[in-house]
Amino acid sequence: MLIVPLHQRLTLARFPWVTALLIVLNVLIHFGFQSRDESAYRNAAEIYRRSGLIELEMPVLQQHLLARSRADLAASLPHWPEPQRSRTAVELQAMDPLLTTRLGRNPPVETSDSALMQRWRSDRAQVERQLAFAFTPKYMLLFHEPSVLRHMASMFLHADGGHLLGNMLFLAVLGLMTEAALGPWLFLGVYLLAGFGGGMLSVLRHFGEFGSALGASGAIAGLMGACCVIWGMRKIRVFYWAFVYFDYVRVPALALLPFWLGWELWHMWSSPDAGIGFDAHAGGIMTGALACFAIRKLGWERREVLDEEVEAEQGVDWFAQARLALGKLEFSAAREMTGRLVEKFPRDREAWRLRLRAWRDRPSDENWHAAARQLLLGQLKPLASLDEDIALFGEYSIASGGKPQLTEAELAALGARWVQGGRLAAAERMTLSLLDAAEPGEDARRLALRVALACHEAGDHAGFQRIGGRLYVSCPGSAETARLQRLLGEP
């Protein structure tokens, strides 16, 4: 499932400059500095394989992996294909400075053989020179050797282009909302603090383990928590996607906080080997949220920006916007707009008419049934004519496959209204459909009696016979049937 806030539009007056600079910085670091990692690893692995260092140093590698509690890798590494073994060996050295130090202090050759020793030192120096060109290993966060520098620098590193793209898209969306509400400097402070907090939780959870982490997702997750808290109970527009279903909805921003945090915590415990820093995400969300609780307490948020957004929305002609969206067949946008309409004007008939049209492409959805129910039974203004009621019910019944989601009492109330207005044909159809039930209830029987009497008074003897006969067959022992029998003079 994906939930993304899409509340504010990009304008020059409120352009998120810090967000843009962060995106540019991440892109430059990835494609500028990190781009040399691959050639460094490839060249070092080639030297490692060609020189035979992989065979000479394998015992030291295995001992080191055992000391790092990686017995599984120590046992399997010697059996891997040659290119894969060499590549893994040099990446381990790049990521773990202690391993390089241990290899240098513990020559895997006999010290008496000076020629072999000299060759080994020459080959080792070549490998280390190549690895020195690699940028990422110097700044990625190491669980086994954490440092403040690595902690801060790692949030600007990414594993590959896909990792970078996903993070930058979320940074752009969340930065647009959060930077406007906090201002550039507070926003930058929350971003960096959340990245540090996310990394701290990750380090604490994996403390002492052999491993690493990198990426801006902890800081970006912090913007999720910050966005929820800073917008508070104000309703924001969010896009959600679950499998093939997607739509927009307006919810209080704070309501997203437990969902986002719970999602990350659940994945942190249920998917420990997913290769994704769910712990950093959760730590970032909590840090960003706590920071913004403090900011709100101190009154440092840009309240005028938050309030201005609400006031601007109140001035929008949502009726015109909804009609325009429906005219373009943009049902998703129309559903969002009509949702605001019925929220602001809950007794306005036109608002509910537009709401029904917005959901006409999904007649099985509860929102569509709710709109039909309001139009047929709600106390809306202006009042609808009986003919409008009858036509609407007919369309609703057909679209529902003859099974409108109305109770017997609600259907009987509609029928009674039509009887009172002299629309006996429509009332008769409603009555006969209610009497078709396996056990017609009291509301159906009373309506049948009322329609039968109205037909009798109007001189419609055929209608009287149809209703009376059906009532007699469906409910032979009922009080309503007995009353009709007395009216006809039957014993």
Q: For the chain, give the number of residues.
A: 491
How far is the C-alpha of 389 from the C-alpha of 401, rounded, in Å? 18
Task: Give yes or no: residues 204 and 304 share one domain.
Answer: yes
Which pLDDT score is estimated for 6?
A: 54
Helix/strand/coil (H/E/C) assignment for every residue in the chain: CEEEECCCCCCCCCCCHHHHHHHHHHHHHHHHHHHHHHHHHHHHHHHHHHHCHHHHHHHHHHHHHHHCCCHHHHHHHHHCCHHHHHHHHHHHHHHCHHHHHHHHHCCCCCCCCHHHHHHHHHHHHHHHHHHHCCCHHHHCEECCCCCHHHHHHHHHCCCCHHHHHHHHHHHHHHHHHHHHHHCHHHHHHHHHHHHHHHHHHHHHHCCCCCCEECCCHHHHHHHHHHHHHHHCCCEEEEEEEECCEEEEEEEEHHHHHHHHHHHHHHHHHHCCCCCCCHHHHHHHHHHHHHHHHHHHHHCCCCHHHHHHHHHHHHCCCHHHHHHHHHHCCCHHHHHHHHHHHHHHCCCEHHHHHHHHHHCCCCCCCHHHHHHHHHHHHCCCECCCCHHHHHHHHHHHHHHCCCCCCCCHHHHHHHHHHHHHCCCHHHHHHHHHHHHCCCCCCHHHHHHHHHHHHHHHHCCCHHHHHHHHHHHHHHCCCCHHHHHHHHHHCCC
Count the Cβ atoms, other than its own, within 10 Å of residue 328: 10
Residue type, 162: G
Q: Does one domain contain both 73 and 169? A: no
Q: Which of 371, 406, 441 is the last residue of a domain?
A: 406
Residue 17 lies in a domain: no
Question: 62-66, 276-280, 310-314: lowest mean pLDDT where?
Answer: 310-314
Residue 450, pLDDT > 60, answer: yes
pLDDT at 226: 94
Q: Is the domain of 121 the same as that of 251?
A: no
pLDDT tens across 352-410, in order? 999 999 988 888 888 989 999 999 998 888 888 889 989 999 988 888 888 888 999 99
Structure confidence by residue, pLDDT tens digits, 109-167: 766 677 888 888 888 889 889 999 999 999 999 888 888 999 999 999 999 999 999 99
Write the pLDDT tens digit of every residue in 422-442.
999 999 999 999 888 888 899
In a domain, 471, yes or no: yes
Cα–Cα distance between 140 and 155 in angstroms, integer? Answer: 8
Domain ends where: 406, 439, 472? Answer: 406
Same domain, 338 and 482: no
In a domain, 92, yes or no: yes
Residue 411 lies in a domain: no
Count of domains for the chain: 4
Does 24 fall in a domain? no
Query: Which range among 169-183, 226-240, 342-356 shows the weakest confidence by mean pLDDT?
Result: 226-240
Same domain, 154 and 218: yes
pLDDT value of position 491: 46
Instruction: Indicate whether 61 pLDDT > 50.
Output: yes
CA neighbor of 50 nearest in space, from 123, 119, 103, 115: 123
Distance CA 417, CA 386 (A): 8
CA dihedral 324, 325, 327, 331 (to 10 degrees): -160
CATH of the domain at 397: 1.25.40
* 450 shares its domain with 472: yes
Residue 4 in domain: no
- Tell me: do 302 and 253 sit in the same domain: yes
Tell me, what's the pLDDT at 1? 44
Same domain, residue pair 327 and 468: no
Among 477, 479, 426, 435, which residue's Cα sits nearest to residue 455? 426
The contacts found for 390-393 with CB under 8 angstroms, 24 or more apart, are: 390/418, 390/423, 390/426
Token pair belonging to 273: 């080997």
**Could you say which of 309, 330, 358 is where a domain stops?**
309
155 lies in the same domain as 116: no
Q: Are residues 95 and 197 in the same domain?
A: no
The answer to whether residue 157 is domain-embedded is yes
List the structure tokens of 379.
């106390």
414: in domain? no
pLDDT exceeds 60 at position 186: yes
**Of residues 11 and 393, which shows the higher confidence score?**
393
82-91 pLDDT tens trace: 889 999 989 8
* Residue 9: C-alpha distances to residues 174, 251, 309, 392, 436 (Å): 12, 18, 11, 38, 54
Which residues on neighbouring strands pair with residue 237, listed in sequence order?
A: 250
Domain that holds residue 443: 422-491
Same domain, 291 and 179: yes
Same domain flag for 156 and 260: yes
Tokens of 228: 């929820």
